[in-house]
Amino acid sequence: MISEPIIKLEGITKIYKTGEEDTQALKGIDLDIKKGEFVAIMGPSGSGKSTLMHIIGLLDKPTAGTYLLNGKNVSKISGSKQSDIRNSEIGFVFQQFNLLPRTSVLDNVLLPTIYGSLKKAKERAKEIIREVGLEDKMTNLSNQLSGGQIQRVAIARALVMNPSIILADEPTGNLDSAKTKELMALLSQINKKGATIVLITHEETVASYAGRVIKLLDGQVA
């Protein structure tokens, strides 16, 4: 393993102002994730794992603390810069509503390339669709796909820009155990090829595919 951390969180705090009471979702998280790691973040609902993923994924800003991504402090950057980094450095796989409706597999995988610059985007997208085993579904519309296939397309889309990290938020949440196994095998395979994967789940079996499991409880690393 390479020693340089790709994600370095120091004292990350997130406070939500909900009415008169403040909710502290994250209470000073310190976390290092190294390049090429496959990390699972686990915790019961309300433990702050989604908030943590949003901060790691630059969808949200921490109230306090520093976040170094590839050695660069990204905790206080502008929304526009956040967008750029999300586009080039982070690939998302969500639990649901991963794909544009009534849009082909290829166009869905190409979605991030609209907002960034990638040479030979179409070739690259086709290559990745082949990698996730959907070459025969290239032109199928997203509503003609099964749950497992949808998640594979989402993974292909997450990979298309060659990001530093893949962030998967309960990617198997809507899948049966057989499909879950297939998908986790695919993610392990991608990880072996060198991608850093941060997975959020509350299922032990899913977490067991990861090289390291980080448990969150009440906004702190347990």
Partner 1 sequence: MKFLKIFGQSIKALFHNKGRSFLTVLGIIIGIGSVIALISLGDGVQKNISGRINALGATTLTVMPGAGLNLGGGNSGQNRSSSEGTRGGGGFSGSQSSTLTTVDLSSLRDKTKNQKIKEVSGNISASSIFNVASGQQRLSVTGVDPEYFNIEDLSIEKGALFTKADVTKTEKFVVLGSGAAASLFQSGNPVGKNLTIQNDSYTVIGVLQSKSESGFTNPNNQIYVPESSLSATFSIANFSSFTVKVDSEADVDSAKAAIEKTILKNHGITDSKLADFSVLSPKDLLSTIDQITNILTTFLAGIAAISLLVGGIGIMNIMLVSVTERTREIGLRKAVGAKTFDILLQFIFESVLLTLIGGIFGIGLGILIGRIAARFLAFEPVLTSFAILLAVGVSSAVGIIFGIYPAIKAARLSPIDALRYE
Binding site for partner 1 (CB under 8 A): 54, 57, 59-60, 79-80, 83-84, 86-88, 92, 94, 97-103, 107, 111-117, 157, 161
Max Cα distance, the chain (Å): 54
Smaller CB separation from partner 1, 5 or 46: 46
Smaller CB separation from partner 1, 3 or 97: 97
Smaller CB separation from partner 1, 51 or 196: 51
Q: How far is the CB of 208 from partner 1 (least distance, A)?
A: 27
Q: How far is the CB of 126 from partner 1 (least distance, A)?
A: 17
Contacts 24+ apart (CB under 8 A), 81-86: 82/58, 83/115, 84/116, 85/58, 86/57, 86/58, 86/59
The strand order across the sheet containing 72-73 reads: 21-34, 5-18, 64-69, 72-73
Q: Is 102 in a helix, a strand, or coil?
A: coil
End-to-end Cα distance, the chain: 24
Smaller CB separation from partner 1, 7 or 209: 7
Q: How far apart are CA 71 and CA 37, in angstroms?
A: 16
Q: How far is the CB of 79 from partner 1 (least distance, A)?
A: 7
Q: How far apart are CA 66 and CA 72, in angstroms?
A: 10
Q: How far is the CB of 86 from partner 1 (least distance, A)?
A: 5
Smaller CB separation from partner 1, 103 or 188: 103
- Amino acid occupying residue 64: A
Q: How far is the CB of 69 from partner 1 (least distance, A)?
A: 15
Q: Which two tokens stand for residue 59?
A: 């969808």
